[in-house]
Structure 1
Amino acid sequence: MRIVTLTFYFLFGALLAWFAARNWDFVTLKLWGDYELAIRLPVLLLLMFLIGALPLAILRYTSRWHWSRRVKKLERALEDKAPAPSSEPSPVMDPAPPPLAPPL
């Protein structure tokens, strides 16, 4: 299954490289006032993708941080309620049976 995934990633990367090579033209962005920015199209697309992915990445990491804190809090509460281990064996448990003698 790993070879299928690697093949897919390789083909996707080759497709992106082909797209970038075919569209390596300058794009002029008109900013506020008389300011203009000339940037290559693939670079602009990459920047826009990263800016669009940023809010979801922040949401993912904050959610992960929240849940890890909650799990640690519940684990601490569980440890506090657990009975202290005693050194004596429990009377409820049966002792282990004696080993069998080897056949003669």
Structure 2
Amino acid sequence: MRFLSTVFWALVAVVIALFSYRNWNDVTLNLWGDIQAEVKIPVLTFIMFLLAFLPTWIIMRARIWAQRRRLEAIERQHASATPPHIVTAEDGEPVI
């Protein structure tokens, strides 16, 4: 299974490299006012990917952090609870 994952990511890397090679052209971005920026298409694509990916990643990390805090609180509560007292008969057998 690990092999298939490696093959998949290698194919993704090859596709990205081919896209970058074939589209290494300048694009003019009209920013605010008379300001313009010349950017290569692959660089622009990478920046747009990061702008879309980072908020989702930050939300995911925040949820994982909150879940870990809840789990640690439950574990601390469980660890501090005293075990139930088992009443035994005189011969050492538990009484139900």
Q: TM-score, normalised by structure 2?
A: 0.83
Matched, 1:19 2:15: no
What CA distance in whole angstroms lies between the structure 1 residues aligned with 2:37 and 2:25? 13
Instruction: Return the letter of the residue paired with 2:12.
Output: F
What CA distance in whole angstroms lies between the structure 1 residues aligned with 2:51 and 2:82? 47
What CA distance in whole angstroms lies between the structure 1 residues aligned with 2:11 and 2:17? 10
3-state SS of 2:24 partner? coil
Structure-1 residue corresponding to 2:89 = none
- 1:15 Cα deviation from its structure 2 partner: 1.1
What CA distance in whole angstroms lies between the structure 1 residues aligned with 2:43 and 2:80? 54
Q: What is the root-mean-square deviation in Å for CA atoms of aligned residues? A: 1.6
3-state SS of 2:5 partner? helix
How many residues of Structure 1 are paired with residues of Structure 2 in the alignment?
87
Structure-2 residue corresponding to 1:33 = 33
- 1:66 Cα deviation from its structure 2 partner: 0.4
3-state SS of 1:39 partner? strand
Q: TM-score, normalised by structure 1?
A: 0.77
What CA distance in whole angstroms lies between the structure 1 residues aligned with 2:46 and 2:58? 18
Fraction of identical pairs, as percent: 36
Q: 1:91-102, aligned counterparts within 5 Å?
A: 91-92=92-93
- 1:46 Cα deviation from its structure 2 partner: 0.4
- 1:81 Cα deviation from its structure 2 partner: 1.0
Q: Spell out structure 1 runs of 4+ moving beyond 4 A.
A: none
3-state SS of 2:11 partner? helix
Q: 1:1-104, aligned counterparts within 5 Å?
A: 1-83=1-83, 91-92=92-93
Q: Gaps (5+ residues) in structure 2?
A: 85-91
